[in-house]
Amino acid sequence: MDAREFTEHWVTAWNAHDLDALLAHFTEDVVFTSPVAAQLTGSAVIRGKDALRAYWSEGLRRIPDLRFEVIGVYSGVDTLVINYRNQKGGLVNEVLRFEGALVREGHGTYLGDDDNPAGATA
């Protein structure tokens, strides 16, 4: 996995709101955690690609102006951290753990204690 290439595809897919392109990088049994998932779905843990699609679809519905600007990319052993600023100006780290070329586990982490870090509407 090339970290810069992956990140460029990731941010392009997010900014285009192209879930098919984004989800192509995830395993069928992916596990994803996020405080925003808890806010939008009632559970901070999302299991499986279908559930991840449902969560992200709801997120895009409730955050129609969603947009990311990548600040930094950090590579580790089978791990990638994408540091970015969201449309609300908040700093976020997406921590992705890979199994081969696909993301098996992901974690959205937010700087600060904002109750609505992604800016979702009701």
Does the pLDDT value for residue 1 go beyond 80? no
Alpha-carbon distance of 80 to 99, in angstroms, equals 12
- Tokens at 79, concatenated: 């791990």
Residues in contact with 121: Cβ distance below 8 Å, sequence separation at least 6, in sequence order: 62, 63
- pLDDT recorded at residue 82: 98
Token pair 């279908």 is found at: 50
- pLDDT recorded at residue 121: 80
CB atoms within 10 A of CB 41: 16
pLDDT single digits (tens) 31-83: 999 999 998 999 999 999 999 999 999 999 999 999 999 999 999 999 999 99
What is the dihedral sign for C-alpha 31, 32, 33, 39?
negative
Does the pLDDT value for residue 107 go beyond 80? yes
Model confidence band, residue 120 (pLDDT cutoffs 50, 70, 90)? confident
User: 86 has which bridge partners?
Assistant: 68
Does the pLDDT value for residue 122 go beyond 90? no
Q: The whole model's pTM is what?
A: 0.92
Please report, rounded to a whole number, the percentage of residues in the chain having pLDDT higher than 90: 87
Alpha-carbon distance of 49 to 117, in angstroms, equals 23
